[in-house]
Amino acid sequence: MSNQPYRTALVTGASSGIGAAIVRRLSEAGIEVHAVARDAKRLAQLAEETGCIAHALSVSDQAGIEALVKSVEIDVLINNAGQSRTGNITRTTVEDIDALVDVNLRAVLQLTRLVLPGMIARDRGHVVNISSIAGHYAFAGGNTVYHATKAGVHSLSQQLRCDLFGKHIRVTEVSPARVETEVFGRLIGDMAEAKKRFFDEYESLLPEDIANSVAFAVLAPQRMNVSFMEVLPTMQVVGGLNFAKKTAEAV
């Protein structure tokens, strides 16, 4: 750690899944981690386990986020918090669109906007955006708004590197495929059914796989910026082409 310039990190969506795994991994590396999530009980348990500093706060709480950023010198920002929904755009409600845009994109933009000035002033920092393969590929069954927000995070990550050219501030985008978390259970409203349907017969990624990917980028030598990582299970591929047949009417 003698050559590691980062002392503090802020992780959003930290109470479970990928976020909690990142908190554990960065804490093990000797970094003081500020863990942000809405679930105060889980955050308290994580703080007891890891020594992280818990902030029971929604990323959509602009005033709360601003107060937090003013009180902490943040070297590493991990934009991990995210939500999803089921259904395509024709089955999406106004509330679903607002929630996904607020958490998946607007909060990422706002937090990045608030944290970067301090990084620039110190000429030291690292922004890590957890996106998704849904931001790069279209596939049947995916939620349209989720895909759109994650594509926005991908574009943001690319543009940030241009904005920060000439500064010792790194930007990393980690784009996972299927990870075994509670997200699928929340989507269908049944954790046991989600485990059976999505994980029991598949070898998916685990949250610690993504945490280790983040740690690899954050702990890498300062001369090295891991700009983009697409992390998939060995037995999962992306892509594919569907070609619909002509209908009888069209013929």
Residue ranges of the domains in the chain? 8-231
Q: How confident is the model at residue 2 (pLDDT cuts 50, 70, 90)?
A: very low
For residue 251, pLDDT beyond 60:
no
Q: Would you name the residues annotated as active-site residues?
A: 146
Mean pLDDT of 217-237: 95
Taking alpha carbons only, the member of 19, 66, 63 closest to residue 43 is: 19
Three-class SS state of 29: coil
| 56, containing H or E segment | strand 53-56
What is the average pLDDT across 141-146? 89
C-alpha distances in angstroms, 238 versus 18, 134, 140, 177, 178? 21, 10, 11, 9, 11
Instruction: Give the pLDDT score at 128.
Output: 98
Average pLDDT over residues 33-53: 97
pTM: 0.92
- Please tell me the least confidently modeled range out of 85-94, 153-162, 180-189: 180-189
42 pLDDT above the threshold of 60: yes
How many angstroms separate the CA atoms of 45 and 47, rounded? Answer: 5
Structure tokens at 244: 């619909």
Q: What is the mean pLDDT of residues 38-44?
A: 97
User: What is the percent of the chain where pLDDT is above 90?
Assistant: 75
Determine whether domain 8-231 maps to CATH 1.20.1260.10: no
pLDDT tens per residue across span 73-93: 999 999 999 988 888 899 899
Average pLDDT, the chain: 92
Q: Please check the confidence at residue 242 and state whether its pLDDT lies above 50.
A: yes
Element spanning 162, H or E: helix 144-163
Q: Residue 156: is its pLDDT beyond 80?
A: yes
> What mean pLDDT is predicted for residues 211-221?
98
Judged against a pLDDT cut of 70, whether residue 248 lies above it is answered with: no
Within 10 angstroms of residue 62's Cβ, the number of other Cβ atoms is 14
pLDDT of residue 228 exceeding 60, the answer is yes
Query: In the structure, what pLDDT confidence band is assigned to residue 187 with cuts at 50, 70 and 90?
Result: low
Cβ-contact 40, 62 below 8 angstroms:
no
Q: What is the DSSP string of 83-134?
A: ---SS-GGG--HHHHHHHIIIIIIHHHHHHHHHHHHHHHHT-EEEEEE--GG
Residue 11: C-alpha distances to residues 55, 97, 138, 241 (Å):
10, 24, 28, 37
What's the start-to-end Cα distance of the chain, in Å?
A: 69
Which has more confidence, 186 or 192? 192
In 122-205, beta strands by DSSP E:
125-130, 169-176
Position 118 scores a pLDDT of: 97
Give the H or E element holding residue 12: strand 8-12
